[in-house]
Structure 1
Amino acid sequence: MAKRQKGRKEGRKEGERKKERKKERKKERKKERKKERKKERNAGLRVLCLLPGPLPKPSLRAWPSSVVPALSNVSLQCWAPTKDVNFALRKGGDVLGLLQPPDSMEGEGWAEFPLTAVRSRDAGDEALLLLVTGYLPKPSLQAHQAGVATEGEQVTLQCQRPDSGTGIMTFALLKAGTSVPVQLRIPAGRETDFSLQNVKVKDTGNYSCVYYQRRAPFLASQPSNSLEIWVAASSPRTTTPDYTMGNLIRLGLAAIIMVTVGALLLEAWSMTGTPGVHVSFSM
């Protein structure tokens, strides 16, 4: 009987020890996941060329846009003004990809890194601003003046986010067909104005705005409803003819003619010597 009780106690103790070990393993896994998430939040996207010796700085852009909805596909395109280089795409301290560009381009190197089904963890603003939208409520966008703008005028667009208590945000003005934001603003409040100075016909298009966190994980809002802006060409100015120069020329010619005629008459009078001849001129 005593042996059975002792065995049961040892079984219970063993079960408790297993539970403790299980809890410890869970804690360790939780810590590891927390470290990974922190690492991702602090990471940004950067591109490096790998080649010994000094190299010119490469350029990096996102196609079709640097502001994209979640789960969409983006290509990061890197260009360097030199040949025979390898490209490395890095996020934080991790290398996400290595590429050797093809030899088809003379005098320059080019590489493309595809990102599929992007999420907020893929966002960053280190070497390239890449925003993944859809994680915060939609803002509103409106123009201060309605109607069609004329070339040379100023167009002011106001973007306002909902009062969701999310702290200071960065606002970005977007234009359809443009791969990078038109303007960025960091207001103290919930709204900001984007001023388009000296607008041209090429500024005609559909505009929208987003706002996003200034630090990792760079959560971005849904884009606002698009706002169409029209810019009309300015009409040519009608100039009034300037008659000043023509009038001066005419007066000068008249004076020359009068002086010439007077000289001829004076010469004729002196030759005849006829008294009582008077010459007068009238204008």
Structure 2
Amino acid sequence: MSSYYEDSVTLVAAKEILASLVESWALFRLLCLSQNLWAQEGCFPIPIISATPGSVIPWNESVKILCWGTPESYLYQLEILRNSTFEVVEKKLGFQEKAEFLISHMNTNTAGRYQCQYRKEYKLSEHSKTLELVVTDIMNQDYTMENLIRMGMAGLVLVVLLAIVIGNWHSHKVPNKEDWPDFPELSRSKHKCQTGPLDKALRDTRALCGKAYCKPGNKKTLPS
């Protein structure tokens, strides 16, 4: 009877030991599996996203978005945030460490927040940090430099016109007396020779007055 009881206790103890061994093996396998998964995920570096020439782009200009992964990555995809969710914009196939996404014309539709990720060994990596692209409106840009250039050109034109006006005024100015040219004076004899019809009439009148008709006290009139 005692031996039967001892055998029963031994059997129960063996079952407990076996159960504990099975549980320990299961925990060990689970731990190994989690470690393997962590190691595999550790081989997927977080992608790096950047923009060239920069994240602020003038209207209708182009920009390149770069997504850096690993040389073993064979698929890259670019996503944009729209309506609170990220949508795939473009995908690039091929084993490469870096993928380039070109946006030819920046506008309000292409501006926004971007992120990228890559695929390696049939698994996707984590998303990169968010890159925000901002488009600047040319109509609202600061035209200070252009305005200064225009004002400078207008000032130069005014200076040239003022110089022309001053030059013309000096050319038409009356010269001083000492600057006058020496014109020869007409002699009195030449002046006398230059007589007209009126001088001839005066000479005829004087000739008639030399006669008696013009003497004092003579009231005779000139013959008609």
TM-score band (shorter)?
0.3 to 0.5
TM-score by length of 1: 0.33
Radius of gyration: which is bigger?
Answer: 2
Greater strand fraction, Structure 1 or Structure 2: 1
